[in-house]
Amino acid sequence: MKAPAASGVPERLTALVQALRSHGIRIGTGETVDAARALEALGLADREYLREGLASALLHGTGQRAVFDPVFDLYFPRGVGVPEPGSGPAPDRDELRDRIAAALAAGDEALLGQLAAEAVNGFGGYGSSPGSDGWSSYQTLDRLRPQTLLARVRASVLAQATDSGFADRLLDDEIRRRIEEFRRQVRTEARRRVAERRGADEIARRGVAPTADRVDFLFAGRAQLAELRRTVQPLARKLATRLAARRRRASRGTIDLRRTLRGSLSTGGVPMRPVLRRRRPVRPELVLLCDVSGSVAGFSDFTMLLVQALHDQFSKVRVFAFVNRIDEVTGLVVRGAADPEGLGARIMAQAALTGWHDSSDYGVSLGEFAERYADAVGPRASVFVLGDARTNRSDPNLPALRRVAERARRVYWLNPEPHTQWGTGDSAALAYAEVVEMHECRNARQLGELVARLLPV
Amino acid sequence: MTTGHFTSVEDVSARLAETGYLASPAVATTVFLADRLGKPLLVEGPAGVGKTELAKAVAEVAGASLIRLQCYEGVDESRALYEWNHAKQLLRISAGRDETWDEARTDIFGEEFLLPRPLLTAIRGDEPKVLLIDETDKADVEVEGLLLEVLSDFQVTVPELGTITATRRPFVVLTSNASRELSEALRRRCLFLHIGFPDEELECRIVRLKVPGLDAALAESVVRVVGALREMDLRKVPSVAETIDWARTLLALGADTLDETVVRDSLGVLLKHQEDILKASAKLDLDAV
């Protein structure tokens, strides 16, 4: 594994492509050649031009940019080694904070980039020797605490402003954004230096966060869930148009003779364009059973959001939530459209989902569903069960699921656990998979693909 | 094969600016590359950030004619590529009653009866052309297949006439709002550009350029407020087009600074949903609307 500085430009480009591929961005050889031609046309003089040029040749979608930028920074770094050799010993902390504050007040991004490099240089190194063992953005930020500069920056901006107006009430948010940008630059710089030491390939694989649609539901943090939520709206729109197209195609059938002949008048009675008979579309029904216990909350929360967004595609959507008892939450899901954030919490608060303990029990819940809500499932209904099928060693109650499957048009089970873990420990996944079709569904991308494939037309 | 309109990235920025299109470095770079590599440019981004305007500006700079294919659900080969003029063919057949079938056949499938649609028009002829395929995502999947042939080889096959190949490549811009996922094959043939919202400084310049009468300080405040609105979680965040509209409104209202009343009264220019307006007013500490 070579450090990027040691290799030539073509090697660097192919290493960059490799790193992007390892993050699931599909790049063909043709695109790599295009990128090389772009590199040739642009030259290495301006790094930002190069970044945009390579991105345009290699990427195919907007979401991939979040992965591309940090990887690009690793393979085509701003500088190599320590930025200002003359800077000597570690700069004074207070003096550096003063300069950062001034740059934040001016909103000067280029200067902030330089300061970020200086900050990592002065405060980010750890280990014994001056060349040190590593560079830490966490340590740098912990010592500098840029977030505490807010009041100072605000004061200096207000002092410089000639007239304070309405827009000043936005100032705090703006300064917070600039500080966040500075922190990002510090992280980039620290990552770049670590990459120099250990080789960019390793850092590019491990140190760069995946795109939102590939984040594992079960391990997503708060911020990532928020990001996932933002992907729901476009995803729902895409699915809706795809469903509409499928419905249209499905409705193409026999030739409507009367309308074909009427249409042929403009071509002298020769029927140039056959007109097809329109079929009356039937809107399918959808029933959702969601495990909302703590272990899979991120998954069910997200899926319900998607259903909410797809709501108008179906004549009837009913949503049931369960932990060890089941309750209908359709009303909550539909009304909650304006406030997706609190959906999960509201369901937990307002529906009766737990009996005398808090752990999930699929057997009891399925049994209760088959008994109490049998009318929800008819021959036009597609049922989706969402959950990890971990029943805490209680009876899985397969007959109940079988009864539901007999009544419904189709039943699918989406499981957020990787396929390899099904049936391990207290998971009844394999047993359930024998009764109904079970699919692995670990991230937004898989969910989108599955929903598009499985949803009834 | 290049289309050969530009010499450098800076050249792109400077010449686009002359027509009133202020390009970000990303836009200028990709336009330059599309020109240099002779590849189509796929532009995505929210509505109202100037995707279509970009194609118009390039056409103006290059002194090229702009050919536009507006996609919609149900646009097909005869709308996009070419069509035979059936009515005229029928007239021709009935005019020459006593000629043989062979004569008539070779005649009615000639240039005279061909109606070229945008894609064919863009390929034929030697003068510089910009082809704008607008809202590609609205078209059906079949049309994408059609575009693949045209965009990779810049040629069109008309069975009766043979293959028509471009002698001079048009500069191609495809736009999309991502309401449908375009196929991987189409994306592969294009350079990809995402136009997002411009940064504060660029947007200020755009506003000053489009609304010349506006005071500089006010323009800055306008851009800042719009920037703050974009950070909120709204159903439809304001776009550059809305920023310009708002700036024009303020100019018309004769406002010389932003204050609570002015913002409250004109928020409807920026936001198009009542719930967004309520949310934004709460966040901006406006009194209830």
Question: What residue in B sits closest to A269 (Cα-Cα)?
Answer: B90
CB atoms B188 and A53 under 8 Å: no
Task: Establish if A356 touches chain B: CB-CB under 8 angstroms.
Answer: no
CA atoms within 13 A on the CB side of A41: 29
Residue B104 pLDDT class (50, 70, 90 cuts): confident
Q: What is the pLDDT of residue B220?
A: 86
Cα separation values, B109 from A330, B90, B93, Å: 61, 12, 11
Residue A410, SS3? strand
Identify the pLDDT of residue B33: 94
Other beta carbons less than 10 A from residue A370's beta carbon: 19
CA distance B219 to B237: 19
Test mutation, A39, A49, A174, chain B, max B CBs within 10 A: A49
Q: What is the pTM of this model?
A: 0.71
Q: What separation, in Å, do the N-terminal and C-terminal C-alpha atoms of chain A show?
A: 51
Q: Percent of chain A beyond pLDDT 90?
A: 7
3-state SS class at B173:
strand
Helix (H) or strand (E) holding A182: helix A171-198
* pLDDT computed for residue A447 by the predictor: 80
Instruction: Please write down the HEC assignment for all residues of B62-118.
Output: HCCEEEEEECCCCCCHHHHCEEECHHHHHHHHHHCCCCCHHHHHHHHCCHHHEEECH
Whether A101 and A119 have beta carbons less than 8 Å apart is answered as no
Q: What is the mean pLDDT of residues B212-227?
A: 88
Q: First vs last Cα of chain B: how many Å apart?
A: 58
Contact between chains at B26 and A52 (C-beta distance less than 8 A): yes
Q: Is the pLDDT of residue B193 over 90?
A: yes
Contact residues, chain B, for A41 at CB < 8 Å: 32-33, 36-37
Contact A265, A245 (CB under 8 A): no
Tokens matching residue A123: 């405060």
Mean pLDDT of A309-315: 69
Residue A405 CA, distance from chain mean position: 32
Contact list, A49 vs chain B (CB under 8 Å): 9, 25, 29
Yes or no, beta carbons of B32 and A41 under 8 Å apart: yes
User: Has residue A4 got a pLDDT over 50?
Assistant: no
Contact indicator for B78, B117 with CB cutoff of 8 Å:
yes
Contact A167, B224 (CB under 8 A): yes
Kind of pairing between the strands at B191-194 and B114-116: unpaired
In chain B, % of residues over pLDDT 70:
98
Query: CA of B283, closest CA in chain A: separation in Å?
Result: 10
What value does the mean pLDDT of chain A take? Answer: 78
Check residue B288 and give its pLDDT: 46
Residue A165 and residue B26: Cβ atoms within 8 Å? no
In the predicted model, what is the mean pLDDT of residues B188-205?
91
pLDDT of residue B54: 94
pLDDT at B276 over 70: yes
Percentage of residues in chain A with pLDDT exceeding 70? 81
Report whether pLDDT(B157) > 90. Answer: no
- Using N-to-C axis directions, what is the helix angle for A171-198 and A93-106, rounded to 10°? 120
Report the distance separating Cα B90 and Cα B131, nearest Å. 32
The domain defined by B9-81+117-194 folds into: Rossmann fold (3.40.50)
Q: For chain A, say whether B185 makes contact (Cβ under 8 Å).
A: no
Structure tokens at B129: 């052309």
A31 CB near a chain B CB, below 8 Å? yes
Interface of B with A in 82-111 (CB under 8 A): 86-87, 90
Interface confidence, given as ipTM, is: 0.87
B39 touches chain A (CB under 8 A): yes
- pLDDT grade for A1, boundaries at 50, 70 and 90: very low
Asked if B86 lies within 8 A of A267 by C-beta distance, the reply is yes
Q: Tell whether B148 lies on the interface with A, counting CB pairs under 8 A.
A: no
Specify the higher pLDDT residue, A141 or B61. Answer: B61
- pLDDT of B287 above 60: no
C-alpha distances (whole Å) from B229 to each of A226, A387, B51, B244 are 18, 37, 22, 15
What pLDDT is recorded for position A133? Answer: 61
Cα B178 to its chain centre, rounded Å, is 13
Full DSSP string of A98-143? HHHHHHHHHT-HHHHHHHHHHHHHHHSEESSSTT-SEE-HHHHHHH
Residue of higher predicted confidence among A389 and A246: A389
A124 φ/ψ angles, rounded to the nearest 5 degrees: -95, -15
Q: Say which of A41, A163, A170 has its CB closest to residue B224.
A: A170
Residue pair A328/A352 in contact by the 8 Å Cβ criterion: no
Are β-strands B155-158 and A410-415 bridged in parallel, bridged antiparallel, or unpaired?
unpaired
Check residue A457 and give its pLDDT. Answer: 60
Domain boundaries along the sequence of chain A:
7-73, 91-198, 220-249+282-452, 253-281
Alpha helices in A199-221 (DSSP H): 200-206
Task: State which of A233-247, A346-360, B21-35, B207-221 shows the largest mean pLDDT.
Answer: B21-35
pLDDT at A6: 44
**Tell me, what's the pLDDT at A36?**
94
Whether the predicted pLDDT of B11 surpasses 90: yes
Locate the domains of chain B by residue range: 9-81+117-194, 83-114, 200-288
- Predicted confidence (pLDDT) at residue A109 exceeds the cutoff of 60: yes
Q: How far apart are CA A68 and CA B194, in angstroms?
A: 13
Q: Which residues pair with B133 in a beta bridge?
A: B69, B174
- Reduce the DSSP state of residue B143 to 3 states and report it: helix
pLDDT attached to residue B245: 93
| Interface with A, mutate which of B83, B172, B174, B224 (most A CBs under 10 A) | B224
Q: Is B227 on the interface with A (CB under 8 A)?
A: yes
Rounded average pLDDT over A80-100: 65
Backbone dihedral region of B63: left (phi > 0), alpha (psi from -120 to 50 degrees) or beta? left
For B247-264, the pLDDT digits (tens) are 999 999 888 888 888 888
Long-range contacts of B139-143 (CB under 8 A, 24+ apart): B139/B71, B139/B72, B139/B73, B139/B75, B140/A245, B140/B73, B140/B74, B140/B75, B140/B76, B141/A245, B141/B183, B142/B76, B143/B71, B143/B75, B143/B76, B143/B77, B143/B80
3-state secondary structure A228-297: HHHHHHHHHHHHHHHHHHHHHHHCCCCECHHHHHHHHHHHCCCCCCCCECCCCCCCCEEEEEEECCHHHH
Least confident of A166-180, A372-386, B213-227: A166-180
**Are the C-beta atoms of A126 and A136 separated by less than 8 Å?**
yes
**The predicted structure's pLDDT at residue A283:** 66
Which one-letter amino acid corresponds to residue B30? T
Which of A81-95, A145-159, A323-337, B24-38 is most confident? B24-38
What pLDDT does residue A128 have? 52
CA distance B280 to B286: 8
Instruction: Please state which CATH number belongs to domain A220-249+282-452.
Output: 3.40.50.410
Q: Please state, in angstroms and rounded to a whole number, the distance separating the CA atoms of residues B31 and B211.
A: 26
d(CA A265, CA A280): 27
For residue B134, what pLDDT is reported?
93
pLDDT tens, A321-372? 888 888 888 877 766 555 556 677 777 777 777 777 777 888 888 888 988 8
- Residue B53 is predicted with a pLDDT of 92
Local structure of residue A426 (DSSP, 8 states): T
Which one has a higher pLDDT value, B68 or A118? B68
Output the pLDDT for position A3: 43
